[in-house]
């Protein structure tokens, strides 16, 4: 949605940084000086209080972080983000980003759409964690990974079983046991980090009724 001139200006007001697996991309409570664009990689977005943490969502290529800081009342990052794999991040100067929002209505609409989609995803995540049983939670996570993250019913998951358990709000042991059950019942084919959804309709039904 940016003109060629605006794209060139954005490049001048941006830097690209490589984050290694496990590195913190932004820290909850830190002063927000830039908008973060995920050019290549995968990260988790989470809230923390020093002891506990809650994963809000995972973000693949083409997503933005820090959009809440375009509001002048939010001068800090409202959450933390950590790279699941080596990731390439474009950091866009916040003042320049706000300038583009003001002068390019098409660009502003796209950003609003992204912000809205993020809100829908987080709302769905809270509903899943608070109202669904363990099987429903895990089915929901698998479908989300296939539809929203990898956009394929076959994918190699770069997350450990512990990280997958963190996403679903359960223990690693529970997730391992449930994955085996899903595999044995023909819902998925699982081998190491390789996932293949075999019966999406049944999996979706478990997600909806779980």
Same-domain pairing of 161 and 178:
yes
Query: What is the tens place of the pLDDT at every residue in 90-114?
Result: 999 999 999 999 999 999 999 898 8
- The rounded distance, in Å, linking the Cα atoms of 122 and 56 is 6
Q: Where are the alpha helices (DSSP H) in 104-199?
A: 105-131, 134-144, 161-168, 172-184
Q: Which residues pair with 90 in a beta bridge?
A: 16, 37
Contact 66, 26 (CB under 8 A): yes
Task: Please indicate, yes or no, whether residues 110 and 141 belong to a single structural domain of this protein.
Answer: no
Identify the domain boundary among 109, 129, 149. 129
Range of the domain at 167: 132-209
**Over the chain (210 residues), what is each successive 10-residue block's mean pLDDT?**
91 96 94 94 89 85 88 87 96 94 93 84 77 88 90 90 86 92 95 93 88
The pLDDT score that the predictor gives to residue 175 is: 92
CA 110 to chain centre: 18
Indicate the burial class of 6 (C-beta count within 10 angstroms; 0-12, 13-18, 19 or more): middle
The whole-number pLDDT of residue 210 equals 66
Cβ contacts of residue 72 below 8 Å, gap of 6+? none
Task: Give the number of domains in the chain.
Answer: 2
Among candidate residues 61, 63, 52, the one with its CA nearest the CA of residue 122: 63
- CB-based contact 22:83 (threshold 8 Å): yes
pTM above 0.75, yes or no: yes
pLDDT in tens, 167-194: 888 889 999 999 999 999 999 999 988 9
Q: What are phi and psi of 154, to 5 degrees?
A: -120, 130
Among residues 129, 161, 192, the one where a domain terminates is 129
In this structure, the answer to whether residues 101 and 141 fall within a common structural domain is no
The CATH number of residue 170's host domain is 1.10.10.10
| Region of residue 116 (left: phi > 0; alpha: psi -120 to 50; beta: else) | alpha
Same-domain pairing of 154 and 190: yes
């Amino acid at each position: 949605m940016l003109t060629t001139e605006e794209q060139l200006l954005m490049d001048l007001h941006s830097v690209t940084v490589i984050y290694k697996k496990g590195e913190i991309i932004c820290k909850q409570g830190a002063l927000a000086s830039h908008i973060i664009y995920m050019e290549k990689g995968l990260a988790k977005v989470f809230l923390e209080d020093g002891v506990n943490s809650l994963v809000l969502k995972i973000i693949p290529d083409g997503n933005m972080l820090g959009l809440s800081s375009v509001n002048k009342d939010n001068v800090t990052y409202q959450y933390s983000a950590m790279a699941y794999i080596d990731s390439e991040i474009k950091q866009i100067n916040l003042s320049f980003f706000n300038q583009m929002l003001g002068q390019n209505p098409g660009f502003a609409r796209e950003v609003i759409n992204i912000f809205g989609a993020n809100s829908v995803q987080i709302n769905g995540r809270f509903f899943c964690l608070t109202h669904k049983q363990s099987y429903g939670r895990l089915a929901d996570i698998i479908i989300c990974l296939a539809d929203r993250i990898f956009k394929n019913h076959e994918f190699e998951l770069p997350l450990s079983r512990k990280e997958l358990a963190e996403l679903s709000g359960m223990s690693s042991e529970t997730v391992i046991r449930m994955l085996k059950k899903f595999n044995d019942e023909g819902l998925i084919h699982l081998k190491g980090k390789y996932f293949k959804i075999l019966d999406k309709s049944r999996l979706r039904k478990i997600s909806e009724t779980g």
